[in-house]
Amino acid sequence: MSAKLISREGKTVRLEVTFDLAGSMLEAENSILAALNEAGCLATGEALKGFDTDGSRWVLGGEKWFSKGQVPKIYQTPYGEVELPRHVYQRSQGGKTFCPLERAARIVVTSTPRFAQQVAHKFAHNASTEVREDLAENHGRPVSRSYLQSLSDAVGSVAQAQEETWSYATPTLDQLISTLSIGLDGTCMLMCQEGYREAMVGTLALYDASGERQHTIYLGATPQHGKADFMARLEREIAHVKALYPQATYVGIADGTKSNWTFLERHTTVQVLDFYHATQYLSAAAEAAFAKDPARRTQWLTERCHDLKHKHGAPARILREMEGFAEQPVSDLLREKLDSAITYFRNHKHQMRYPRYRAEHLPIGSGITEAACKTLVKQRLCRSGMRWRERGAGIVLSLRALVLSPGRWQQFWNKIDQYGLPVGA
């Protein structure tokens, strides 16, 4: 053994660790890692003992519980497996058992909280097979894939169960926040039995007076028949930030989907159509108007995109120009594209006041939300061959949203450390 316990005085332990530095540098480093893992197991075992009872009678839920004696149990830690005896309790009439050590030490499944935190963080980014390889290769921790999945499911279940009751503080920011943009969008993912379905993504981005983004909150929800749960969560987040920044300008940014604006108009004072989506329709109009003149088509599109962003009144002028194009004979396919562009500008020209928005340092693009669709959903849930069930996808999205929203992952674990596990993980 490379590590051994020398003494323990109260909450302080003294260990002796022996390192074998023979061989190459790589071999020496592997030896150091193994020795440190041994020392970590010894210290963790001593820490766990401090959370056990002395076997005295225990009162829980108004009922008396009695120790059945110290029963051995193996716990998973960042350093390896730790086996130790601990008191297990049961009522006099029998039935289910209870281990005070596991509640007090915040054990998740059979894992210490730090190991559960490590595994869940890795699982938010990678599949269980990759997490297993990472732990074995880089940490000297061989763990079965099934256990990693069970542990991540347990942590994700806590995150989901507390989405309505646990609030997370927005980090203290150096700059004053003058604008808050709210965006929502959907992106498709492949479900096991229902084929491709739309997952919902929402963002709340905080900007300073010069238009620089200072903080972003991410939300995600699995495909559902109806979006009420997701919208309710987003509304809670909006209420939280409005309480923090009541004087800020609240801006809704989205594409032309009607349901998005039905929601955003209730919560924002300024509504902005995503500039990129507007230019896509301009491109379709240019293709229809100048089908036989590519050079003119490129010139017109470049000029109108510039006008749309920089010149007041441009949306109305461009709309009239496109309506003039509609009088020209074109193919049915191009006619359909042109009609769509005209309808789009008619419905949304009041949300295309881009020169004003830019002068007031307001965001004009939904790039944050579009990027969130990729980083929150696509990069993790839409890899080759992946199919998901509702529960599994929800767990990954909950973990991933906590990890990607700065400050929330640590706050989540601080709450577990303070309150314990609120569900039967």
Over its length of 425 residues, how does the chain's per-residue pLDDT go in tens digits? 789 999 999 899 999 999 999 999 999 999 999 999 999 999 999 999 999 999 999 888 888 999 999 999 999 999 999 999 999 999 988 899 989 999 999 999 999 999 999 999 999 999 999 999 999 999 999 999 999 999 999 999 999 888 878 889 888 888 899 999 999 998 999 998 889 998 999 999 999 999 999 999 999 988 875 578 889 999 999 999 999 999 999 999 999 888 889 999 999 999 999 999 999 999 999 999 998 899 999 999 999 999 999 999 999 999 999 999 988 887 888 889 999 999 999 999 999 999 999 999 999 999 999 999 999 999 999 998 899 998 899 999 999 999 999 999 999 999 999 988 864 44
- Quick one: which H or E segment has residue 391? helix 390-404
Tell me the residue length of the chain.
425
pLDDT in tens, 104-132: 999 999 999 999 999 999 999 999 999 99
CA atoms within 13 A on the CB side of 217: 20
SS3 content of the chain, % helix, strand, coil (to 5): 50, 25, 30
361 to each of 140, 195, 213, 355, how far by Cα in Å?
51, 42, 11, 10
Report helix, strand or coil for 181: strand
- For residue 398, the model assigns a pLDDT of 93
Token couple for 269 = 């004072």
> Structural domains in the chain?
177-274+365-406 (3.30.420), 276-355 (no CATH)
Going by C-alpha positions, the residue among 30, 1, 7, 6 that lies closest to residue 16 is 6
Going by C-alpha positions, the residue among 133, 122, 188, 213 that lies closest to residue 400 is 122
- What is the CB neighbour count within 10 angstroms for residue 399? 25
Residue with tokens 């839409």: 382
Beta-ladder partners of 221: 200
The whole-angstrom separation of Cα 110 and Cα 289 is: 67
- For residue 29, the model assigns a pLDDT of 95
- For residue 222, the model assigns a pLDDT of 87
Rg (CA), the chain: 29
- For residue 109, the model assigns a pLDDT of 93
Contact 162, 344 (CB under 8 A): no
Report helix, strand or coil for 213: strand
311 to each of 272, 304, 343, 349, how far by Cα in Å?
16, 10, 21, 13
204 to each of 32, 235, 410, how far by Cα in Å?
45, 11, 19
Residue with tokens 């441009």: 314
The whole-angstrom separation of Cα 115 and Cα 142 is: 13
211 to each of 189, 249, 256, 362, how far by Cα in Å?
33, 12, 24, 6
Residue with tokens 């004003």: 356
Going by C-alpha positions, the residue among 50, 48, 113 that lies closest to residue 82 is 48
The reply to whether the predicted model has a pTM over 0.85 is yes
The whole-angstrom separation of Cα 259 and Cα 342 is: 20
Going by C-alpha positions, the residue among 413, 378, 414 that lies closest to residue 397 is 378
